[in-house]
Structure 1
């Protein structure tokens, strides 16, 4: 009877090392995918939080009564900057054409128009009606100009990965050809530095108030 032969040859050391190397490459790829997905999820959460802040502030502005610049009533709805005091609107409002620093953002919506005088990621200090007063989480807004409201909203919010989300409000006064104030445009501006990429992200929404 012929006996059955078995190949008793096992893995050589080189084959084992190659198998381990292939496994490590696969595991590193999976780990990298998990890390990237985790970072993507955090960036999405950051954006969602910024959108939520913008919607909340816009809703607050919608509920506020109209205030003329000459009324003297404490209100957010005052145009504190000369560039926005006498804006005209036909097809495009006059303030929507101004871009002094030549970036991708119109000055009216841009927190980085020039250099600020303290260490916050903003600079358009004199142009904004409301802006962050500090980098601390839940810090109230700073109000520029006269007739500031007594109850100021929060302008610095906690984000994710130790990043902050900042908010500001800019106001333009709309006039007609006769110089009559026909309304106000308030822009809610929310911005942050994106976690892991450090890209500046700016979003804005508009609230229009008619002078009835």
Structure 2
């Protein structure tokens, strides 16, 4: 009877149980990080990624996946794909850019401008088909940039964004938007869409 009691009191392979928990712990952490992102978090990640891509669009360089992940913190696997899908939709519908996956193995993307290029020497009759409220398109682009940018928007930032869409505020777009600079600094200010303030720096 004695040997049987000793066998029943022997501990079950505790080291193996500890090893199993240790091996599965990283997967639990990864799963937790993916689940922790709320819809609000995802929207913030989308906005940050869109701002980053628009800012870098003028450089005409590809965006690598590991580079984008720095601006989509916490988004892994399917969550990352979901964020990129929303980013692609905003870039195309709002900014006129198409996000293209060039290499599925190396995972890098490029931006393609989908907006039609307007030549300066267009004949007047070609502009007859343009909508009368076409300046609303310019207004929408300006308001979207203001909304997507955190903090105060500088004139340089706004002009750089418009130039990335082939809309130069320093040039007159007769057939499309007219005098863009005057529209931004005079018309939109009178309509209370914009408020322009001069920043004065004082030497200490």
TM-score tier, shorter chain, comes to: under 0.3
TM-score normalised by structure 2 residue count:
0.26
Higher RCO structure, 1 or 2 (CA under 8 Å, sep 6+): 1
Q: Which has the higher strand share?
A: 1
TM-score normalised by structure 1 residue count:
0.25
Q: Which has the higher helix share?
A: 2
